[in-house]
Chains A and B, each alone.
Chain A
Amino acid sequence: MITTFADPFDALLSLQRELESRFASDWLEGTTTSRGPFPPINVFQQGDDILALMELPGIDKNELQIQAKANTVRISGKKSVDYSNDVSVHRRERVSGDFDRTLSLPIQVDPDRIKAEYRDGLLALFLPRAESDKPRSIKLK
């Protein structure tokens, strides 16, 4: 019986990629918790609320899941780049694969009021601060 590995170079290359992605990810830093650094994210403040923007060009909306709880938001899904088999590819720069990222926020969000919008390859998450988390002013008697 002969066992053949699919491609030893391919296996080595994906190991290399995995190791490099550990370097590239920020899992040792206190910024955001994540399982993977994809997709890159920009976080903005809009008054009391938070706006998170992600570049995800060419995603099927049905392949995208967004979950939220208290102060974490999880974005997971699949980015696929498919061409039919009978074409010859000259250049391949676009990446495809699964992604799963969890974002820790400095505030408590109201999960019911979160809005997600996907337009022109940009995913925008409107994360409203929970009423219970907002500071209250105390009147002096």
Chain B
Amino acid sequence: MTNPAISDIGSMVMPTRQELQVQQKRELEKKEESMIPARVFLPTADIYETNDALNVVLEMPGVDKNSVDIRVEDGVLKIEGRLDFSKYQGLQPLYTEYNVGHYSRSFRLSSKIDQNKIAAELNDGVLSLVLPKVEEAKPRTIQVK
């Protein structure tokens, strides 16, 4: 049971659908100097957890399957996506709103992740990583006797 007068005002003031915002690309803060003369951006990431895995979803538009490099080193998961700049050759920019560059992001893994079973999939510029948990980290129900 809702009061129609109030809900009317509400719908007038508040848009029913949310307009998409432009996200400023965040540039990677590098600890060391780089040898490649290109910008490196942090891909936007979502992290969610299911019962048996941790999932990381990264947006890397313009990166194809062969240009993604995923490594686990010293418990750090490093994802790198290289952009093919040759596509931009011979193009004369008229109007630009975003910068292009490579993508790089690192995540420190906890010991609860099974580092040998990490799987990755790239679809339409969205990289989905599945990080399975080790057996002992999975939730279990304890029976009351």
User: Which A residues form the contact surface with B (CB < 8 A)?
Assistant: 1, 3, 5, 11, 14-15, 17-18, 20-21, 24, 31-32, 36-46, 50-51, 55-59, 79, 81, 83, 86-99, 106, 118-122
Contact = CB atoms under 8 A, between A and B. Distances in A.
Contacts of A96: 20
B17 interface: yes
B135 interface: no
Contacts of B91: 44-46, 51
B46 A91 contact: yes
A138 to B, nearest CB: 27
A121 B62 contact: yes
Which of B54, B55, B62 is the most central at the interface, judged by chain A CB atoms within 10 Å of its CB? B62
A105 B97 CA distance: 15
Nearest to A84: B50
Contact of B94 (A38, A45, A118, A119): A45
B61 A98 contact: no
Given A57-B126, A86-B50, A120-B125, A31 B62 contact: no
Contacts of B57: 94
Contacts of A21: 19, 21
Given A88-B48, A90-B54, A118-B124, 20 more contacts: A3-B6, A17-B18, A18-B19, A21-B21, A42-B97, A42-B98, A43-B96, A44-B91, A44-B93, A44-B94, A46-B92, A55-B62, A57-B59, A57-B126, A58-B124, A87-B50, A90-B48, A98-B20, A120-B61, A121-B125
B1 interface: yes
A86 B50 CA distance: 7
Interface of B: 1-3, 6-7, 10, 13-15, 17-23, 44-50, 54-55, 57, 59-64, 88, 90-98, 100, 123-126
A120 B62 contact: yes
Identify the 8 closest CB pairs spanning chains A and B, nearest first.
A121-B125, A121-B61, A57-B125, A38-B20, A58-B126, A44-B91, A55-B61, A91-B47
A97 B18 contact: yes
Contacts, number: 151
A79 to B, nearest CB: 6
A86 B54 CA distance: 13
Contact of A3 (B3, B46, B47): B3
9 contacts: A18-B15, A24-B21, A36-B19, A58-B123, A93-B44, A93-B45, A94-B57, A121-B61, A122-B61
B80 to A, nearest CB: 15
B95 A89 contact: no
Among the interface residues A24, A40, A51, A57, which one has the most CB atoms of the partner chain B within 10 A?
A57
Given A42-B97, A121-B60, A121-B62, A97 B20 contact: yes
